[in-house]
Amino acid sequence: MDGGRGIKVCQEWQTFKPFYDWAIDKWKLGLQIDRIDNDSGYSPINCQFSSPKDNVNNRRTTTWIEAFGETKTIADWLIDDRCKAKRHNIVQRLRKGWDDEKAITTPPLT
C-alpha cells in the first residue's frame, strides 16, 4: 500500500495482527499513529503514538518560529502572551521576509 507521496506500509503490517501486536501496549485513548520520519513509511521502527497536537507539529508543512530564544509552531505562539499578531498576519509577514520575532510581536493594523 502507498499514498500519494509513495509512503508505504511495511510488509509486516500488510496484515492486521502484526500491527495490532505492535500497537496494543503503546496506544492510549486520544493518541494517533505518527511517523517519526515523514519521508519514510509506516513500520515498527518509524512509528509512534502521539497526541493530535504533536502529530500536527510533526508535519512537513509545519512552520516553526524562533523568538525570545524559543522555537515553537505558529499555533503555540498564538497562545503565548508575547504574541500580538493573528495567524494570517504572521503567515503573510513571514512570506514577506519579516524577522520571526517581529512577525509575532507586531500587532495587526486596525
For residue range 25-82, list pLDDT tens digits in order: 999 999 999 999 989 999 999 999 999 988 988 888 889 999 999 999 999 999 999 9
Q: Which long-range contacts (CB under 8 A, 24 or more apart) does 49-55 make?
A: 49/23
Tell the burial category of 90 from Cβ atoms under 10 Å away from its Cβ (0-12, 13-18, 19+): buried
Which one has a higher pLDDT value, 2 or 5? Answer: 5
Write down the domain spans for the chain. 11-57, 64-105
Number of residues that this document lists for the chain? 110
